[in-house]
Amino acid sequence: MPTFDELRELLQRDPEGFEILRAELIEARIQDCSACHQRRLRGLQFVIDARRRLAGSPVKALLDIQGMMYDCLHGLQQALLGEQGLPEPSSRKSARILHFRPYQG
């Protein structure tokens, strides 16, 4: 598995190569799972990829996928607690995006 810095460098140098490697690594993890889970994982990855394409920016994609994870976790919590769980935490519908200067290190 490449390090974070190696992946970042690959993304900057060869974005298409990065996407190919990303897809290969994801597929390898799916292949490591039992056959009964692979179809579900591929479906989930399809949804994640679609959200990324439609988002328009990496930050929007991150927020969309984070929202998906929250929804799944909340549903699991409700199922485990029989709908008598803790009140749903408030979630932001919008956020202020801060723009940072590139790191010059």
Helices (H), ranges, 14-34: 15-32
Q: Which residue has the tokens 């974005």?
A: 15
Say how far apart CA 48 and CA 67 lie, in whole Å: 11
Is the pLDDT at 45 greater than 90? The verdict is yes
Helices (H), ranges, the chain: 4-13, 15-32, 35-55, 58-80
The pLDDT tens digits of the residues spanning 48-104 come to 999 999 998 999 999 999 999 999 999 888 888 886 555 566 666 777 888 888 877
**What pLDDT is recorded for position 52?**
93
Say how far apart CA 51 and CA 37 lie, in whole Å: 21
Residue 55 burial (C-beta neighbours within 10 Å; 0-12, 13-18, 19+)? middle
Q: What is the pTM of this model?
A: 0.66
